Chains A and B, each alone.
Chain A
Amino acid sequence: MATMENFKCMLCGYEYQELVEEGEDKERSCPKCRSNSIRHLKARPSQDKTNGKGKKAKQ
């Protein structure tokens, strides 16, 4: 199932939303400045302990 998720470019600061398919494997770049420093902003409180499992909320 696809969900709308929030991203932020860590170079230029541009924030945007994008539809994310479950289990997708996609290289991201900023729609404005092309930087690859794209931070996935999560609705859930941040979890430090996730370790390669639980694909959904990740890139």
Chain B
Amino acid sequence: MDPEACTACAECAKVCPVVKPDEYQMGLSSRKAIYIPYPQAVPCSYILNMEDCLGTNPIACGKCTEVCEPDCINYDDHDRIVTRDVGAVIVAIGADVYDPTEMDEYGYTRFDNVITSMEFERLICAGGPTLGHFVRPGDQERPKRIGFIQCVGSRNPAIGRPYCSNICCMNTIKDTLLLADHYPDVECTVFYQDIRAVGKSFEDMFQRSKEAGTRYIRGLPGDIEENPENGNLTLIAENTTSGQIERHEFDMVILSVGVGPPKDLAKVSSLLTLSKTSDGFFMESHPKLKPVDAPTRGVFFAGFCESPKDIKDSVCQAGAAASRAVALLNAGEVHIEAITSVIDADACKKCGVCASVCPYSAITWKKGEVAVVIDAACAGCGNCGAACKFDAITMRHFTDAQYTAQIRAILAEDPQDKVFVFACNWCSYSGADMAGISRMHYPVSNRVVRTMCSARVSEEMVLEAFRCGAPIVLVSGCHYADCHYISANRQTVQRVQRLWNKLEKAGVRPQRLQLEWISAAEGAKFAKVMAQMEELRKTVTMEEIEQAKAALKPKPKKPKKEKEPAAVAG
């Protein structure tokens, strides 16, 4: 369809012979294969769903083209990939409303007169399938006794949704007020765990709902029964205020469904290297101080995909995200941290390993030629620096010399008491911070050193820690899906595998080297792993430590002169 040419005259839909459930109306009415999603749609144009349409090639139907005066229907139109350069990305991919099919105890699939709060919206709406005449699906009669069940798909760890969806209490309160306004004879009863009415003027709405006659019963129903004669429903619930098991009969039951992360989240997440919190929503840079910034620079969050929130809060966050993006766009330029890789042309043996491990293709190399780093493309993960066997690569600000000095200083005294930890900047180090912010306690034995990526941890760095007497070395990084350098941490796995082999060959217990993926949200996992490492440390004897020190001594070779290329003008 050509949205510019379409006049939304509706002639096409009148002749279309295909009938499908209308998604906008929650399947409560039907649409054609050619249709407008709803009258106020933007763009205001009919769309042709090719999966539903009969006529492609050869044209089997073609009725709509015959009546389309502006001639805007094109069966051969197809999806196109559009490329645009942008300086900021705002992720506002929203949420998915909970489908209560799996929670059979409320009979959503079994009983006609059990509906969701989303279906209620369509049934009460003047633009809905019943033109706003509120009837129950079973017999098209107007229900008088209506029961609401709260927290369907929220605050329920058993179905993997332990969080509060934020909006459902107020939405139900709104529904009861709407019903009281439209039909004064309606009796509403709400079964709830807690009523969360904490926004501006929300408590006032709650009080008005009670004054309008809505009964609030604390306790969620455990069972539902249908009277097959008249389609009425009986809810059986423990009223936790009185401690009594109560039975209440209704004409209709509305499940106040929660809202969860959208199913497209994983796709967008891997595209922009974002992380999610344990509840499945996007993880922000800082829960208090950078609530709309993603850890990936230039990416910002707005709306439900970051955490459950209502319209007002979504609008507030949208403004905040826009403001953060404007600050970036107006600045017109960004400073790239001076942490890129630098190749020493004299030391380079032209092997090309660096180019093969670079996740960004930021190193160009041709057989027989010195490798060259493209500065603007380098993200500074350090994978090439760790992979180079000839000490020809220096990671600016994270040099081998800096790490060696740091390892030696930290392990200078009583190394046998210490668990040596390499933690990647984006996930594991942040996870360690998260443990701190959450005041989780763990054994004091660990000493953490930060690397940009776990793939920066070279074999030499691990061996150096053992040579300095570390009983345990832990390499930690992002989970596979979260790696902030695309897939650099796969190289970490290979390096650790090689180290296990090497240690074993040298007679060093390979268990003394450990590997863990700890995300920025997994403070609890960091604390747990630290406790496990301390247990493991206690099993390492002084003899083992001394044996490793001797066995892992570096082969004598020319001392390396590392010059970190300094790029300061003044």
Contact = CB atoms under 8 A, between A and B. Distances in A.
Q: A and B touching (C-beta < 8 Å)?
A: yes
Interface of A: 10-11, 13, 25-27, 35-40, 46, 48, 50-53, 58-59
B491 A52 contact: yes
A25 B490 contact: yes
A27 B517 contact: yes
B448 interface: no
A3 B328 CA distance: 50
Contacts of A52: 353, 356-357, 387, 491, 494
A46 B65 CA distance: 68
B280 interface: no
Nearest to A51: B353
A45 B145 CA distance: 75
Interface majority SS (helix, strand, loop, mixed), chain A: loop
Interface of B: 353, 356-357, 387, 479-481, 487, 490-491, 493-494, 496-498, 500-502, 505, 510-511, 513-517, 532, 536
Contacts of A48: 498, 501-502
A11 B517 contact: no
B387 A37 contact: no
The residue in B479, B491, B494, B505 that gathers the most chain A C-beta atoms within 10 A of its C-beta is: B494
5 contacts: A25-B480, A35-B514, A39-B500, A48-B501, A51-B387
Contacts of A36: 515-517
A37 B509 CA distance: 14
Given A27-B517, A52-B357, A59 B498 contact: no
B497 A10 contact: no
Kindly list the 9 A-B residue pairs having the minimum CB-CB distance in the complex, ordered from nearest.
A27-B480, A46-B501, A37-B515, A37-B514, A36-B516, A36-B517, A10-B511, A59-B493, A39-B500
B353 A10 contact: no
Most buried by B among A13, A25, A46, A48: A46
Nearest to B477: A36
A36 B356 CA distance: 25
A5 to B, nearest CB: 13
Nearest to A59: B493
Given A10-B500, A25-B487, A52-B353, A35 B516 contact: yes
B516 to A, nearest CB: 5
A58 B480 contact: no
A48 B481 CA distance: 28
A51 B515 CA distance: 20
Contacts of B494: 52, 58-59
Contacts of B356: 52-53
A50 B491 CA distance: 12
A1 B480 CA distance: 23
B180 to A, nearest CB: 52
A3 B153 CA distance: 41
A26 B516 CA distance: 14
